[in-house]
Structure 1
Amino acid sequence: MFSWLRMAVILIVTIFLTRFIPFSAFFQNVNTLVHELAHAVATLLLKGSVMHIYLYADQSGVTYTAYTNSWMIIPIALAGYTGSALFSLLLFFLHAKGKDRFGLALIAAAAGVALALFVRNGYGMAWSAGFTALTVLIYFAAPSWLRTGYYLLLAFICLVESVISPFILFYIAVTEPASAGDAASLSGVTFLPAFVWSAIFCVFALWCAKIAIGYLFRRKPSGILINK
C-alpha cells in the first residue's frame, strides 16, 4: 500500500513541477516518439511495413503502417501505450544500476533511428534532429551532474506522460469512443469497448510507474569499496 501511495505522491508532484520547467513541452515529445516507435517495431516484427511517422508540436503523433492480416492490429495497437510505459520503467531501472550514460545513448539512438527511417513531417524531423543533437551533446560534453540531471528530467517526463496519456485516452473513449485512437482500433477488432481497452492501458501504466518509482529508491550508492 505504501508503494502505491508513494508512487501517487511522486507522480502528482512531478506532474506539477514538469509543467513549470522551461521548454518542458519540447521534452514531452520523447514519450510520443517512443509510443510511435513501439507501433513501428511491432509492425516490423509482424513483417508489416512502416510508411512514416508524424510527430506534432502538441505532443501527438501518428504511425502509418501496412500489414497483411486484420488480427495484426491487436499487437500493433497494444504496443504504443504499453511500450511507452515499459520504456519509462527501463529508464529508471538503468538509473538504479548507474547506467545513465547507456540510457542517454539509447534515447539518442531511438530519436536518430526514427529520424533516419520513419519521421517524415517537417516538425517531427526538426524536433528529432534537435533532440538527438542536444542529447548527444549532453552525453559527450556535459559534466556528470548535468548529464544525470538531464537524464532524470527525461525519465520523469516519460514516466508522467506514459501515465497521463492513457488517462486522457480513457476520457476520450468514454466521451467520443470513435476518436479514442488505439483503443478504438482495438475495439473494432475485439469484443471489448474502447473504454475497457483504455482502462487496461491506465492500469498497466500505473503498475509500471509503481515499479519505476521503486527503482528510484534502490539506486546503488557510488563510493569506495573497502575490503576487510
Structure 2
Amino acid sequence: MILALFLTRFIPFSAFFRNVDTLVHELSHALVTLVLSGKVMYIHLFSNQAGVTYSSYTEQWMTIPISLAGYMGSSLFSLLLFLLYARRKEKAGLIIAAVLAVAGVALFVRNGYGMTWCAGFAALTAVIAAMAPIWLRHGYYLLIAFIVLVESVISPFVILSNAILSTGSAGDAANLGKATFVPAFVWALLFTAFSLWCAKMSTGLLFKRGFGQKT
C-alpha cells in the first residue's frame, strides 16, 4: 500500500485519474438518494479531487444511508476493479468506468470542470478499452485500479483527522454525527476500517493473479 501510494502520487498526470474515486463517491451518494426516492439536483467535481452532491429528500433518517454510501461505494468500487483484474476482465472494468463517467455527465455533473473531465476520461478509457494493445490496456487498468485503491483509503483517514480536530469539516462523518447520537469520529473510524478491509481484499486478489498479462 505504501509503495502504491508513492507510485500513484509521482506518476505524471496521476492527479487527473484521482477524480475517478471522486466520481464514484459522488455517484454513490446520488444512487442511494434515488433509491430512497429523493432528488439529485447536481454533482460538481473539482480539479483538486473534491466533489459535492446536492440532493433533497423527505425524511431526516435518509441522511444516514446517503452519507454512508460515498466512502463505502468508493471502497467497494476499488474491490470490484481488483476482482475483475483477478478474473482477467480488465476490458469489462474499463467499460464500467467509462459508462460511469458518461452517466455522470449525462445525468448529474453540471460544473464546467466536472463535465469536461467526465467526457475526457470516458473518451480516453473507451478508446483504450476498444483499440489499445493488450500491454497498454493492462497498464492503464492497473493505474486506475491502484489510484482508486489509494484514494479510497486516504480519504477516510483525512476525514478521521478532520473529525478529531474539527468536527464541522468532517464531511459525511459530520453529517452522520448530526443525524445520530454517534460522534463524527466514530463514523470516520467506520469508514477507515471498511476501506482498509476492502484494500486488504483487493491486494489479496492482486497477488492471487500477479502482474502478468498472459492467461
Per the normalisation by structure 2, the TM-score is 0.97
1, 4, 9: which one aligns with 1:19 = 9
1:106 match = 96
What CA distance in whole angstroms lies between the structure 2 residues aligned with 1:145 and 1:32?
A: 27
Cα distance per residue 1:33-59 (max 9 Å; x no partner): 000000000101111111100000000
2:187 is matched with which residue?
197
- Structure 1 counterpart SS, 2:44: strand
Aligned pairs for 1:122-201 (under 5 A) are 122-201=112-191
> Residue type of the partner of 2:37?
K
The answer to whether structure 1 residue 217 and structure 2 residue 207 are counterparts is: yes
Is 1:78 aligned with 2:68?
Answer: yes
1:207 equivalent in alignment to 2:197: yes
1:92 lines up with 2:98 in the alignment: no
Match of 1:31 in 2: 21
Structure 2: distance between partners of 1:217 and 1:180: 34
Q: Which amino acid aligns with 2:57?
A: Y
Alignment partner of 2:52: what SS?
strand
* AA aligned opposite 1:180: A
Flag structure 1 segments of 5+ consecutive residues without an equivalent: 1-10, 224-228
Q: Percent sequence identity over matched residues?
A: 61
Q: Shift of the alpha carbon at 1:141? A: 1.4
Q: Deviations over 1:66-85 (max 9, x none)?
A: 11100001000000000000
Looking at structure 1, the residues matched to 91 and 32 of structure 2 have their Cα atoms a distance apart, in angstroms, of: 26
Give the Å deviation of 1:219. 2.1
Structure 2 regions of 5+ residues with no counterpart? none
- Residue type of the partner of 1:123? Y
Instruction: Report the structure number with the largest CA radius of gyration.
Output: 1
- Secondary structure at the aligned position of 1:65 is classed as strand
What corresponds to 1:4 in structure 2? none
Match of 1:218, SS state, is helix
Q: Partner amino acid for 1:20?
A: F
Q: CA RMSD in A?
A: 1.0
| Letter of the structure 2 residue corresponding to residue 213 of structure 1 | T
CA–CA distance in structure 1, aligned partners of residues 169 and 85 of structure 2? 36
Q: Secondary structure at the match of 1:47?
A: coil
Q: Aligned to 2:208, what secondary structure does the other structure show? A: coil
- When the two structures are superposed, what TM-score results if normalisation uses the length of structure 1? 0.92
Partners of 2:12 and 2:63 lie apart in 1 by 37
